[in-house]
Amino acid sequence: MYSARMDTADRLIESTRELLWERGYVGTSPKAILDRAGAGQGSMYHHFRGKPDLALAAIRRTATELRGAAERALDSPGTPYERIKAYLTREREVLRGCPVGRLTMDPDVIADDALRAPVDETLAWLRGRLASLVEEGKEQGQFGPSLDADEIAATILTTVQGGYVLARASGSPAAFDAGVRGLLALLAPASLTARTDSDTDQS
């Protein structure tokens, strides 16, 4: 299942990441972690102080991975609107939910300051990056000057996280896609909207 070159500690972290995404913290037992990692009994305690320590390493790695994927989309070529669109439409496993966002619904993670910290930091970072793009778009005249960048950033993040919930509830990514399309239509610069309307009138 894992690369033969991956050491035991990495296999433990990867198996914990997957199980947290699938089952949450309570449902991720040490036995399940060891079984999936193909590691012997006691391996966890050789490399980590216990399940909380291993879970923290797994959550941090997941948060780092999510930041990297978001950064690649937000740093892609194009206008601020196009970069926000790239983030919203990037490839995701929608029906599995957000590997970071889902942790906010896990009471054991939220109740633990150490486990919650990388989740909170990642979501706060993402809101900040999105807000800075909205500000950039306002400066370029692409977005209306009255828009509050922090509120728009929160709306973007809420659309993504809410879209995961609706998609999982319906068993289809269609609800996620519809939310993204709706938000992009609301954010579309006036010049783009006018051009689209003109194209429609001529067809």
CATH code assigned at 27: 1.10.357.10
CA–CA separation, 41 vs 119, rounded Å? 29
Whether 2 is covered by a domain: the verdict is no
Residues near 188 by beta carbon (within 8 Å), at least 6 away in sequence: 81, 196
Predicted local distance difference test score (pLDDT) of residue 52: 94
Residue 112 is assigned to a structural domain of this protein: yes
What digits encode the pLDDT tens for the residues 145-189?
Answer: 999 999 999 999 999 999 999 999 999 999 999 999 999 999 998
Q: Give domain status of residue 63, yes or no.
A: yes
Task: With beta carbons less than 8 A apart as the criterion, state whether 38 and 7 touch.
Answer: no
Spatial separation of the C-alpha atoms in residues 35 and 31, rounded to whole Å: 6
Q: What is the pTM of this model?
A: 0.87
Q: pLDDT tens across 112-126, in order?
A: 999 999 999 999 999
Handedness of CA 111, 114, 115, 121 (dihedral sign): positive
CB atoms within 10 A of CB 149: 19
Domain span holding position 182? 8-188
Q: Is the torsion defined by CA of 29, 117, 126, 73 positive or negative? A: negative
Cα 197 from Cα 150, distance rounded (Å): 29
In a domain, 20, yes or no: yes
Q: Is residue 199 part of a domain?
A: no
Determine, yes or no, domain membership for 196: no
Any domain includes 202: no
Q: What does DSSP assign to residue 143? A: S
Contacts of 65 by beta carbon, 8 Å cutoff, 6+ apart = none
The answer to whether residue 166 is domain-embedded is yes
Q: What residue type is assigned to position 126 of the chain? A: L
Phi-psi region of 168 (alpha: psi -120 to 50; beta: other; left: phi over 0): alpha
Domain count for the chain, please give it: 1
Arithmetic mean of pLDDT over the chain: 91
